[in-house]
Structure 1
Amino acid sequence: PGGDAFIVLNNYKDKLVWKNSNAALYDIGDDVVGLQWNTKMNSIGSEVLEAVNKSINIAEEQFKGLVIANDGANFSAGANVGMIFMFAIEQEYDELDMAIRMFQNTMMRCRYSSVPVVVAPHGLTLGGGCEMNLHADKVVAAAETYIGLVELGVGLIPGGGGTKEFVLRAADEMHEDEPETITLKHRFFNIATAKVATSGFEAFEAGILRKGIDEVVVNQGRRIAVAKQAILDMHAKGYAQPQQRKDVKVLGRSALGALHAGINGMWRANYATEHDALVARKLAYVMCGGDLSEPTFVSEQYLLDLEREAFLSLCGERKTLERIQGVLTTGKPLRN
């Protein structure tokens, strides 16, 4: 590697390929591009989503792959909740539906593009920022990465494909020696308790990073170079564009009962407020694939639609809006 061991995106300002008011795409050498954005807390709003889509288009036409990272203090604190709040308060549900759809479609674009997309997070990587990592071909995380799906804390469920992805992974993890409901339950409680892995290594235990695919670098300054090398390796081996899944096993009603029992237990033990329980039940519904009479195989899009419907319905809940407002005014969600 030599000089390539450390890549600082800000050093590539003269190698600009494309930009908008919040984001910039740089040519970082060897036919690889790097995207970074600069917003408050590196939150992900419409300009950032536009940049991700545009960057993938450009990479598909002219480059070997795309690295998504940034030089700021944190990778991303999540989706732009201010925008969600504004649409919800004004009851602009069509706008909100379009915004969530765009988020979901952009995450799916990361996974199903014709070139590899590698994400290199560090620091806070929460909510929508975590969802972007869940949809990468590979994640190269700094050891000091705080990563998790924290949406339940603001009275929402992960709505950018995170819920769908946890269902898909649970389905892939199901095996003879463990009841399927238990496998799903582990994944469910990870989201329901808004669990954050406090290091890249812990993220493997939390099922956010995938053993054998994703990796952690102890020296944060090296992560972009390692991510770039991963793209070159994938390209050299002959990268095949993955196909959207239509074979995700969901458990339906049988698992729904078990998850509801778990939610009621948390509520009775005062771990969860009544609103927490309401949100968790919506999450359970999505993660079981709906109220199906028996286990069924479904598509990713089916799960994304369920996820989006649940997210939208929660945006109409007063207590969810109070929580989001709490985050916007004090930085902390209200416990209501």
Structure 2
Amino acid sequence: MLNQKTIFHSPDAVHLWHQGDDIAILSFESKANCASPAVLEGIHQTIAEVEKNYQALVIWQPNDKFFCVGADLAAVSQWVKDTNITAISQYLTKFQQTSLLLRYCKIPVIAAVKGYALGGGCELIMHCDQVIVSQTSRIGLVEAAIGLVPSGSGTKEMIVRACKDSNHAVTLLQHFLQISQGLISKDAEQAKSFHYLRHSDLIIAEGVDILAQAKLLAKKLSTNYCPPQKLTIPKMEMTQKEIFIKAYQQKNPQASEYDNFICEQILTIFFPSTKDNKAFFSEEELLTYELNAFMNLVTTPKTIERIQYTLNTGKHLHN
């Protein structure tokens, strides 16, 4: 690429570079740009570097087909086979920390998205200050289809976005149903209606130089930039939980017993069970519920079957 100057390069993980200016560009080099352990570590190294020496960060992939397909399922599958539960928990915790690192970075972070941003890829872009996205990009939290829940801060973030809506309860139900069905948008416009993208995120036509546009946006946002404030998230009334369950059953009349079990795990994040009467949660508290739900699923035989089927075929198994 013209005028490409490397800042640091970790083969099969990340490449951090610039074009002779103060905007750093991060690209992944993993298979299908998945968020492997090495990629997550590379993002942490990137943030430490760019906060000191650059005005903004753009995450951009030279691969037009995949922005990021999400978590490293091959690694997760191997840890399950090895009964290395600690490694799985550490990986998910690192993923959650990475999302928050992007959210609260001292400089603006822009995701320039072309192609698929699925699962963890969707989670990462949702924690950037701004997303600029090609109109044909497909985005979604697909984890339920492979027997898991979005646990890299994605479920938490969909709850946060619902809480910012004037019709909080209705939007929260919409987000719950999307997550429980593992919905992928058909294009960027639909990703906005699903709230994987915000109204402020920018959709551009095919053929437009998305990196150049992202850099212009990064430059603009870097002027007098202030990171967002820490969030508190209101607790949903437990009386609403039954409404969510009935809505799921109506939407998914062909749901299997295991689909219903996955749904129950998602509900533990939307309706956390606490011993006190607290009215608000921190992001970190909700992330604990995300992690617990993921760990309750990842070693079950049916989730293992779903993950292996997806790795072998690229498709989803309904069991």
Partner residue of 2:6 out of 9, 13, 16: 16
Say if 1:83 and 1:258 are closer, same or farther in 2 by CA, change over 3 A. same
| Consecutive unaligned residues in structure 1, runs of 5 or more | 1-9
How far off its partner does 1:47 sit?
1.2
Report percent identity of matched pairs.
28
How far off its partner does 1:44 sit?
1.1
CA distance in structure 2 between the aligned counterparts of 1:110 and 1:58, rounded to whole angstroms = 13
The reply to whether residue 308 of structure 1 matches residue 291 of structure 2 is: yes
Q: Deviations over 1:227-259 (max 9, x none)?
A: 1111111112x00022321x2112041222211
CA contact (8 A) 1:42 1:77 kept: yes
Partner residue of 2:266 out of 252, 277, 283: 283
Give the TM-score, by structure 1 length.
0.90
CA distance in structure 2 between the aligned counterparts of 1:265 and 1:283, rounded to whole angstroms = 17
The reply to whether residue 263 of structure 1 matches residue 248 of structure 2 is: yes
Aligned to 2:75: 83
Partner residue of 1:136 out of 124, 128, 140: 128
CA contact (8 A) 2:177 2:248 kept: no
Partner residue of 1:234 out of 217, 221, 224: 221
Matched ranges for 1:65-76 at <5 A: 65-72=56-63, 73-76=65-68
The reply to whether residue 25 of structure 1 matches residue 16 of structure 2 is: yes
Structure 2 residue matching 1:139: 3-state secondary structure = strand
Give the TM-score, by structure 2 length.
0.95
Aligned to 2:177: 189
Aligned to 2:230: 244
CA contact (8 A) 1:69 1:120 kept: yes
The reply to whether residue 223 of structure 1 matches residue 210 of structure 2 is: yes
Q: Which amino acid counterpart does residue 170 of structure 1 have in structure 2?
A: A
Q: Deviations over 1:170-205 (max 9, x none)?
A: 1111x3xx4x43221011111111111111121111
Structure 1 residue matching 2:26: 3-state secondary structure = strand
Aligned to 1:47: 38
Structure 1 residue matching 2:66: 3-state secondary structure = coil
Aligned to 1:5: none
CA distance in structure 1 between the aligned counterparts of 2:80 and 2:55, rounded to whole angstroms = 40
CA distance in structure 2 between the aligned counterparts of 1:144 and 1:24, rounded to whole angstroms = 25
Aligned to 1:328: 311
RMSD of Structure 2 on Structure 1 (CA) = 1.7
How far off its partner does 1:12 sit?
4.5
| Consecutive unaligned residues in structure 2, runs of 5 or more | none
Aligned to 2:138: 146
Q: Deviations over 1:9-35 (max 9, x none)?
A: x4344x000110122111134300101
More moved, 216-225 vs 305-314: 216-225
Structure 1 residue matching 2:317: 3-state secondary structure = coil
Q: Which amino acid counterpart does residue 331 of structure 1 have in structure 2?
A: G
How far off its partner does 1:295 sit?
7.8
How far off its partner does 1:208 sit?
1.1
- How many residue pairs end up in the alignment? 317
Aligned to 1:93: 85
